[in-house]
């Protein structure tokens, strides 16, 4: 998840195991596909808008909106441009892309912009595809989620598809109740196993994908 996970995690580290079953950072997200001249997708732009509490941590940490008038100067925005792109080596970026059922390799993130409005910090970054793909030859699926479920992502904007005609996107939303039941079953099983082994707590399972929305992009053959 974004770098704010490591700041906020210190505040919730003492929560009981059950409390860890709920996300602590809420992010609205959106996407824009970048098309090459030949119509293939060569990159994806990812927008993240953080919840008000997380945004407050960010603005205090980087000295944004110090006068609390709800407006950030260009100099202040420059401080937070790319602040959430200092990723650990094993972090996948919480944005997963598949094409024709196979994972699409994404390059490192490049900061595009940062904003601040209505008390919320918003950033945009771009990641290039290792190999461009033709969305007219199969479905391109974008799924934002944090495997640890520390962060919860919600697709809040239409996917940008300018650059190639006859393309459309469809948002798929999972059954939240069913996902919660699966999560609780996994937690119960792990906790029972931990107790049987004489351990106080079990490691939290990677269940973020249970709650993941999907954007499915298709285009007419070109």
φ/ψ of 58, rounded to 5, equals -65, -50
pTM score, whole prediction = 0.82
Which residue bears the tokens 């202040």? 76
Return the SS3 of 168: strand
Return the SS3 of 218: strand
Nearest CA among 92, 91, 39 for reference residue 217: 39
The dihedral sign for the CA sequence 9, 143, 99, 130 = negative
Query: Which residues have C-beta within 8 Å of that of residue 188, sequence separation ≥ 6?
Result: none
Query: Which residues have C-beta within 8 Å of that of residue 157, sequence separation ≥ 6?
Result: 28, 29, 30, 31, 47
> How many angstroms separate the CA atoms of 67 and 51, rounded?
20
Q: List the structure tokens of 74.
A: 């260009």
Q: Are strands 214-219 and 140-144 parallel, antiparallel or unpaired?
A: antiparallel
Query: pLDDT, tens digit, for every residue of 50-62?
Result: 999 999 999 999 9
Query: pLDDT, tens digit, for every residue of 105-139?
Result: 999 999 999 999 999 999 999 999 999 999 999 99
What tens-digit pLDDT sequence spans the chain (222 residues)? 455 554 444 444 434 444 455 688 999 999 999 999 999 999 999 999 999 999 999 999 999 998 889 999 999 999 999 999 989 888 999 999 999 889 999 999 999 999 999 999 999 999 999 999 999 999 999 999 998 888 899 999 999 999 898 999 999 997 566 656 666 666 565 555 545 555 545 455 566 678 889 999 999 986
Q: List the structure tokens of 75.
A: 């100099």
Alpha helices in the chain (DSSP H): 4-12, 52-62, 74-80, 176-196
Query: pLDDT, tens digit, for every residue of 182-195?
Result: 666 665 655 555 45
Query: Is the separation of the CB atoms in 124 and 110 below 8 Å?
Result: no
């Amino acid at each position: 998840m974004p770098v704010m996970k490591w700041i906020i995690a210190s505040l919730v580290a003492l929560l009981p195991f059950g409390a860890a079953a709920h996300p602590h950072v809420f992010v609205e997200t959106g996407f824009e596909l970048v098309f090459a001249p030949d119509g293939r997708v060569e990159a994806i732009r990812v927008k993240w808008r953080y919840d008000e509490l997380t945004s407050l941590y960010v603005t205090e940490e980087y000295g944004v909106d110090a006068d609390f008038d709800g407006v950030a100067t260009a100099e202040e925005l420059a401080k937070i441009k790319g602040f959430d792109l200092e990723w650990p080596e094993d972090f996948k970026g919480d944005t997963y892309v598949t094409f024709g059922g196979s994972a699409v390799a994404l390059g490192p993130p490049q900061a595009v912009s940062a904003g601040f409005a209505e008390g919320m910090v918003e950033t945009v970054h771009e990641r290039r595809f290792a190999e461009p793909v033709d969305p007219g030859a199969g479905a391109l699926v974008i799924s934002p989620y944090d495997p640890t479920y520390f962060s919860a992502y919600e697709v809040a904007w239409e996917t940008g598809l300018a650059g190639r005609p006859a393309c459309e996107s469809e948002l798929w939303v999972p059954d939240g109740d069913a996902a919660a039941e699966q999560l609780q079953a996994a937690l119960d099983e792990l906790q029972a196993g931990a107790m049987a082994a004489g351990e106080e707590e079990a490691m939290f399972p990677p269940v973020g994908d249970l709650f993941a929305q999907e954007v499915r992009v298709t285009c007419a053959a070109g």
